[in-house]
Amino acid sequence: MTAAPATILRQHLIDPEICIRCNTCEETCPVDAISHDARNYVVDAAKCNYCYDCISPCPTGAIDSWRNVRADAPHSTADQLTWDSLPAQAPPEALGAGIEVGAGNTAVEMPDDVEKIAAASTAGQGGTAPPPWSAAHPYINLYGIHAPAVATVSGNFRLTAEDASSDIRHIVLDFGNASFPVLEGQTIGILPPGLDANGKAHHVRLYSVASPRDGERPKYNNLSLTVKRVTEDHDGKAAQGVASNHLCDLKKGDKVNVIGPYGTSFLMPNHPGSHLLMICTGTGSAPMRAMTERRRRKFAVGESLGKLMLFFGARSPGELPYFGPLTHLPREFIDMNLAFSRLPDQPKRYVQDLLRERGEDVARLLKDENTYIYLCGLKGMEKGVEESFTALCQANGLDWSTLRPQLLQQGRYHVETY
């Protein structure tokens, strides 16, 4: 007799290596599925109803962790409290073949799709695709909320035109004698001062570093951020972003509490001949600026480098952070493609439109195993970019649905959208 197939649960977990223990998830969870002890935050599989309320407030993405397990044997909270890192994904044969799917999922075929689920969840939600094989070692969690590093503001410059609708700023933080090593693509956490309406400390907000690993100014112990002053919520209603307004209002000499660094995935390759295909909108340009500047410094001293291709979307030149410096970069250094959506008397253009227009060149890069793709900015662009990849691949003898999971698995496709 054949045994009845097991039911697979895509178990919701918290990555203890990335979690900064800020309590945001526990406060957010409407069904009290999340709890903690002095060591870890954990999710009770029997209580989690997959509402996803906790996912977006988490400042580090530690909450966006999933493992396929047998539904009759999920990781218990007692086990999770002992973890220093997430367990490896159990192979399909250990889970059993021909399986249904547990709470919160659409049905999938087993066993092949177990990996696909894992890969897909890393792409859409900026999760844990491996870093490029040649990425440098990132340091993470050096400073936590109870012992933050104190940085001093050494610059705060407006990047957008005076008449632009958005106030986007380049903020330089100096760490003095504190060691705060970061790589391009990593993020840091800012602790806004003061208390919220309930008398609690404000939640941490994460910002991508906009400077390369050797500092905003080489050999200085500093880094920069690209921060947009938030004045409305996603629905366009007036709302003051606590951390962004705190940062944008800072003056030279002011002190800022910083935690982190974070990020072990969205990192740049280090090997010679590696190409970067970068696609961004707005402040999603921060990691692209860091990577471009890292490469520019190497280019300036004559190092031989792979190609850089950038697709950058903004409403107009005046709204595009770093517009001036970007347009001065030599063409042989970077292939730049700027998409403007609100120019008078011009049709709306998005990054995905330019990707299609440059389809042949993009496809040539996609065919090269040394190409690494980075997507950062508005969540809405993700769908359009994926559609453009699908179309341009089809027109150039590639199949995006086959290529995409390979790129993810090889740490060559990194997505961070919000």
Q: How far is the CB of 343 from ligand A2P (least distance, A)?
A: 10
Nearer to ligand A2P, 212 or 313 (CB): 313
- Tell me how far apart the terminal alpha carbons of the chain are, to the nearest angstrom: 50
Q: How far is the CB of 342 from ligand A2P (least distance, A)?
A: 5
255-262: strand order across its sheet:
205-208, 187-191, 255-262, 149-158, 168-174, 222-228
Q: How far is the CB of 384 from ligand A2P (least distance, A)?
A: 5
DSSP 76: P
Nearer to ligand A2P, 313 or 359 (CB): 313
Cα-based distances in Å from 269 to 36, 136, 219, 236, 297: 36, 8, 22, 38, 15
Nearer to ligand A2P, 311 or 413 (CB): 311
Q: How far is the CB of 386 from ligand A2P (least distance, A)?
A: 11
Among candidates 279, 276, 289, 299, which has minimal Cα distance to 322? 289
Q: How far is the CB of 278 from ligand A2P (least distance, A)?
A: 14
Largest CA distance in the chain: 75
Question: Is the preceding omega at residue 261 within 30 degrees of 0, hence cis?
Answer: yes
Extended strands (E) in 24-93:
34-36, 41-43, 65-70
Nearer to ligand A2P, 183 or 373 (CB): 373
Quick count: other Cβ atoms within 10 Å of Cβ 5?
A: 13
Which contacts (CB < 8 Å, 24+ apart) does range 229-235 have?
Answer: 229/166, 229/167, 229/168, 229/169
- The Cα–Cα gap between 13 and 86 comes to 8
Cβ pair 132, 268 in contact under 8 A: yes
Q: How far is the CB of 394 from ligand A2P (least distance, A)?
A: 20
Nearer to ligand A2P, 312 or 372 (CB): 312
Q: How far is the CB of 212 from ligand A2P (least distance, A)?
A: 24
Q: How far is the CB of 17 from ligand A2P (least distance, A)?
A: 31
Q: Look at strands 255-262 and 149-158 and give their pairing.
A: antiparallel
Q: How far is the CB of 252 from ligand A2P (least distance, A)?
A: 27
Q: How far is the CB of 284 from ligand A2P (least distance, A)?
A: 8
Residue whose tokens read 């649905």: 401
Nearer to ligand A2P, 226 or 274 (CB): 226
Cβ pair 261, 187 in contact under 8 A: yes
- The Cα–Cα gap between 116 and 409 comes to 10
Cα-based distances in Å from 195 to 26, 80, 200: 18, 31, 5
Nearer to ligand A2P, 114 or 171 (CB): 171
Output the residue with the shortest Cβ distance to ligand A2P. 380
Among candidates 29, 57, 60, which has minimal Cα distance to 44? 29
- The Cα–Cα gap between 25 and 47 comes to 14
Binding site for ligand A2P (CB under 6 A): 166, 281-282, 313-315, 319, 341-342, 350-352, 378, 380-381, 384
Nearer to ligand A2P, 100 or 387 (CB): 387
Nearer to ligand A2P, 254 or 357 (CB): 357
Nearer to ligand A2P, 76 or 346 (CB): 346
Cβ pair 207, 156 in contact under 8 A: no
